[in-house]
Amino acid sequence: MKRLIPKNIRHQILLVVLIAMLPHFIYLSLWSDGSPIHLFAILLTTLIPLYFAWFLGEYFVASRLKRIIAVAESFASGNLEGRTGFSQERGEIGQLARALDQLGDNLARANEQRLSYEEEVKAATESLKESENKHRLLFENAGDAIVIHNDKKLLAVNRVACESLGYTQDELLSLSPGDIDTPEQYKFLPARFRKLVEDGHITFETEHLRKDRSILPIEATARIITWDGESAVLAVCRDICERKQMEQERVLLQQKMLNAQKFESLSTLAGGIAHDFNNILTTVIGDTELALMQLKKKQSPRENLERVEKAALRAARLSQQMLAYSGRGIFSIDNIDLNKFVSELMPLLEASICKNATLLLMPQSEIPMIDADTTQLRQIIMNLATNASEAIGQRRGTIAISTGTKYCDQDFLEGNWLYESMYEGKYVYLEVSDTGCGMSTETMKKCFDPFFTTRFTGRGLGLSAVHGIVRGHNGFIKVESKLDIGTRFRLFFPVGKTDVATPIKSCVSEEITYSGAVLLVDDEASVRRTTKQMLESLGFEVITASDGLFGIERFKERSDWRLVILDLTMPGMDGESCFIELQKLDPGVIVIISSGYSEQEVSRKFIGKGKIGFLQKPYSFAELRGAIGNVGNVSTETLEDT
């Protein structure tokens, strides 16, 4: 039955019309008379409906279905622009057309979205590719080595990293971070990684190990990144070989400059001392020759000898200044109230400065005591006040002396003269400021050099002595100065101890007589000769030795020694070593140490080592007698009055 139904819609319509007209055709055939006209009429009435049926099917059904088919075929081929054009009509054809047109609209919108997405994807892909190319270009051509790694292996390295370490890229990527660190630096990795995690980035200096096992110093800057979805470290490593070399060269250059400055300072010191000693020696030689001439003429040489004595005392003072410059001066330490000390010194200072300078004292109340030598402290205050007066010159100005206390931390301590082993804490300061001409930076650098002056040569040790005295008191100095504005010196001293023993001065009577043997050990023949005569005048039998070894041999020759006078600085066996050997021979031996260094400097070597006295060089006859009296148990008489 299905085979009898035509597939074409028009044929289906005609078949429907024929089936519909079949009764009409039968009726006409049965009732017609068979005449041609009648037959023609039957045929005409049959064909005309058929034609109209075909025409109506063609116009209202087949043409629309063709349009629907054509649009559907265009959709199938990918052309989504066509539409049926009769989607507003009623009936099934209209519904079909509307459905097809709606499908076209939906497909068109979907296609537009697809194209837009494809464009976006294409643009993003191209942008990503361009970005990757740029980053790859920057990564590979960076001037510093770049390493990306986790805690187990290296993930990425650039060309510079390979070249600097001497590996190929494949070789380097097969290593772990620990393989390129030196063993000394590898132990710091955990601490550095913890800091990196805490701060997000870190910069540090380290050392990498090249393939040939040589060391490459680097400065690394690291931060945390995400690499292939996991946490990693990006490290930019800069080769600092050249920087290290430049730093070493700079240190060597600074050392050379310091050495040059030291040589210049020593040259100035030697020239100044030679100048002063030549003047002294001229007096000594001249007056000695005059004294000898007076003796030949049987005249009194007293006046000439007195001048020789004065010249010798000048030489002794110059020697003391040199010791003060070295920080090893002669100190007699007392517990001093700095406010009271400066206040009592004011009349002398007012008399010493120029008349057009106003002297002000501005003490801070209730400052701690300091441990200091009064003579040395007086010297530095006088030196600073005199310098301030000369800086003011002929114009009117002010010199202010103030005192106070300050807690000095490490930052404050570092920016000063004499910063060596200063410790944080409370210090007492003495400040001397003026409104004078001030100093330039170059002058400030040399102001503590011996015999340096901006006025004329041969001024002496001056500020260099201040420098040495403050150093000898374990203090430090701050200096501030500006040209045409003025200068400020601040001297800082450690806070003194609450209880300080007052030195016991000898009250030995000049009439006390002595006896017994004294061993005098000194490498200087003139000292041995003069001191021997002094000791013999006191009643001693004197045996001399020129060095420590010879002194030990002489000491072994007898056992009735009353006293040993021992020079501290000698070639071969020095005084300290000699003293140790003497104590082995006689634990109760009485020794007086003779030295140009201060008593405090020497006493540190002999604390708790037995019966020891001290004799500061150069010494007079009275000072020698006093030193002998201070050690006790030496004279033939009882020393109850001592």
**Which of 78-82, 217-221, 338-342 has the lowest average pLDDT?**
78-82
pTM of the entire predicted model: 0.40
For the domain that residue 158 is a member of, what is the CATH number? 3.30.450.20
The domain boundary, picked from 218, 239, 260, lies at 239
Write down the pLDDT at residue 289: 78
Q: What is the mean pLDDT of residues 208-237?
A: 86
* Extended strands (E) in 470-551: 476-482, 486-494, 517-521, 541-545
133 domain-assigned: no
How far apart are alpha carbons 292 and 298 in whole angstroms?
Answer: 10
How far apart are alpha carbons 621 and 630 in whole angstroms?
Answer: 14
* Extended strands (E) in 29-153: 145-149
- Do residues 476 and 387 share a domain? yes
pLDDT tens readout for residues 125-172: 777 677 666 666 666 677 788 888 887 888 888 888 888 888 888 888
Residue 264, token pair as written in the block: 């210049």
- Do residues 453 and 477 share a domain? yes
The count of other CB atoms within 10 Å of the CB of residue 605 is: 15
How far apart are alpha carbons 49 and 68 in whole angstroms?
Answer: 27
pLDDT tens readout for residues 465-497: 777 778 778 888 888 888 888 888 888 998 887
How far apart are alpha carbons 104 and 102 in whole angstroms?
Answer: 5
Write down the pLDDT at residue 543: 93
- pLDDT of 113 higher than 80: yes
**Per-state percent for the chain, helix, strand, coil, to nearest 5:** 55, 20, 30
Q: Which domain holds residue 370?
A: 330-494
- Do residues 334 and 263 share a domain? no
How far apart are alpha carbons 314 and 304 in whole angstroms?
Answer: 15
How far apart are alpha carbons 469 and 623 in whole angstroms?
Answer: 23
457 domain-assigned: yes
Chain-centre distance for alpha carbon 527? 52
- pLDDT of 518 higher than 90: yes
Q: Provide the mean pLDDT of the chain.
A: 76
636 domain-assigned: no
174 domain-assigned: yes
For the domain that residue 291 is a member of, what is the CATH number? 1.10.287
Write down the pLDDT at residue 621: 83
φ, ψ at 567 (rounded to 5°): -70, 140
How far apart are alpha carbons 544 and 523 in whole angstroms?
Answer: 10
- Do residues 465 and 341 share a domain? yes
How much is the CA Rg of the chain, to the nearest whole Å? 57
Write down the pLDDT at residue 520: 93
199 domain-assigned: yes
- Do residues 384 and 480 share a domain? yes
The domain boundary, picked from 494, 527, 553, lies at 494
- Do residues 277 and 339 share a domain? no
Is 43 in a helix, a strand, or coil? helix
Sequence-distant (≥ 6) Cβ neighbours of residue 556 within 8 angstroms: 585
pLDDT tens readout for residues 54-79: 666 666 666 677 777 777 777 777 77
Write down the pLDDT at residue 618: 79
88 domain-assigned: no
- Do residues 404 and 335 share a domain? yes
Domain count for the chain, please give it: 5
The domain boundary, picked from 300, 324, 348, lies at 324
Model confidence band, residue 294 (pLDDT cutoffs 50, 70, 90): confident
- Do residues 549 and 590 share a domain? yes
Name the residue with tokens 């104590």: 583
Could you tell me where the DSSP H helices lie in 393-420? 410-414
**Which of 53-57, 112-116, 210-214, 433-437 has the lowest average pLDDT?**
53-57
Tell me which residue of 574, 577, 578 sits closest to 564, measured CA to CA: 578
More confident residue, 281 or 623: 623
More confident residue, 456 or 455: 455
- Do residues 429 and 318 share a domain? no
Task: Say how many CA atoms lie within 13 Å of 402 toward its Cβ.
Answer: 13
Q: What is the mean pLDDT of residues 302-328?
A: 70
For the domain that residue 548 is a member of, what is the CATH number? 3.40.50.2300
- Do residues 555 and 538 share a domain? yes
Write down the pLDDT at residue 565: 92
The answer to whether the CB of 90 falls within 8 A of the CB of 64 is: no
- pLDDT of 38 higher than 60: yes
266 domain-assigned: yes
φ, ψ at 345 (rounded to 5°): -85, -10
The count of other CB atoms within 10 Å of the CB of residue 498 is: 8
How far apart are alpha carbons 437 and 435 in whole angstroms?
Answer: 7
Chain-centre distance for alpha carbon 300? 70
Model confidence band, residue 13 (pLDDT cutoffs 50, 70, 90): low
- Do residues 456 and 334 share a domain? yes
27 domain-assigned: yes
- Do residues 214 and 264 share a domain? no
Residue 480, token pair as written in the block: 């501030």
- pLDDT of 263 higher than 70: no
